[in-house]
Structure 1
């Protein structure tokens, strides 16, 4: 399944992703962000699990399984620009905004905003077609939930 999704993501003109592929690709972006500072902490994995459960109505075990799949996908995924552009092409705008809010939750989960995470959070919304204003509002919503 991961190989097939990677093939879709690396095509010159990515096709829209179905529900399961979109869910996995967006989860992998969260993993990439959490790994950016080379400190993939338990608080970050727990936050990703909570996010996946909330966004997709998953049980804790199913959310954990999706995160584990996303970890494998992220490890093999192309560079962030191509990866996020493929998600942009295949995922509706409202889901991409929800992804940015979730991404801010991951960044804020360990209480330490590392420079690497901040750098990705300046890039990822833009690559996903999300404005700075919408990203900032998503950050505020994420911070309010902590």
Structure 2
């Protein structure tokens, strides 16, 4: 099944100018898997988190809704089969420049706070992923602050977000 999904993604997804379609599909799958893994850490992967991940992936990769839904489904399955975060983070680390890796951390913070609070497991994962992506604690903290600022602006007050 995973091979079918990967083959589908490789055929379906276009490449960025600097990459081959296969490489772009792997990168998208790795990024989506990290986001899905972050969403699952609090024990649930609810509709609000799925919508948030879909929005982030659409914005980041310029994908349409159907492709994003398929990518999230593939990432969900991939996280069930994977033996950890290393493979996903390696793909992102190798293919994203430093600013893009910081952006990935910011996306992860957004997913972690999508339900309005930060679970200890989510916080721990973010620290580990930041280290694996060679993003400093300060850069990760700055990304977290940007997310909290955006969310508190949307919620109408910082008291609505726990963290």
What's the TM-score bracket when you normalise by the shorter of the two chains? 0.7 to 0.9
TM-score scaled to structure 2, two decimals? 0.73
Determine the structure 1 residue equivalent to 2:49: 44
5+ residue gaps, structure 2, are: 7-21, 152-163
Q: How does 1:107-146 map to 2 (within 5 A)?
A: 107-146=112-151
Distance in 1 (CA, whole Å) between partners of 2:123 and 2:117 is 10
1:72 and 2:77 aligned: yes
Shift of 1:3: 4.7
Q: Alpha carbon RMSD of aligned pairs, Å?
A: 2.3
Determine the structure 1 residue equivalent to 2:28: 23
Determine the structure 2 residue equivalent to 1:91: 96
Distance in 1 (CA, whole Å) between partners of 2:145 and 2:67 is 28
C-alpha change, 1:2 and 1:145, in structure 2 (3 Å) is: farther
Determine the structure 2 residue equivalent to 1:104: 109
Distance in 2 (CA, whole Å) between partners of 1:93 and 1:123 is 16
C-alpha change, 1:53 and 1:83, in structure 2 (3 Å) is: closer
* Higher relative contact order, chain-length normalized (CA < 8 Å, sep 6+): 1
TM-score scaled to structure 1, two decimals? 0.81
Deviations 1:80-128 (A, max 9, x none): 2454234323433232222111000001110021111111111110111
Larger-Rg structure: 2
Contact 2:31 2:88 survives alignment (8 Å): no
Aligned length: 136
Determine the structure 1 residue equivalent to 2:160: none
In structure 2, which of residues 51, 62, 68 is the aligned counterpart of residue 63 of structure 1?
A: 68
Distance in 1 (CA, whole Å) between partners of 2:124 and 2:77 is 23
Shift of 1:72: 1.4
Distance in 1 (CA, whole Å) between partners of 2:84 and 2:46 is 22
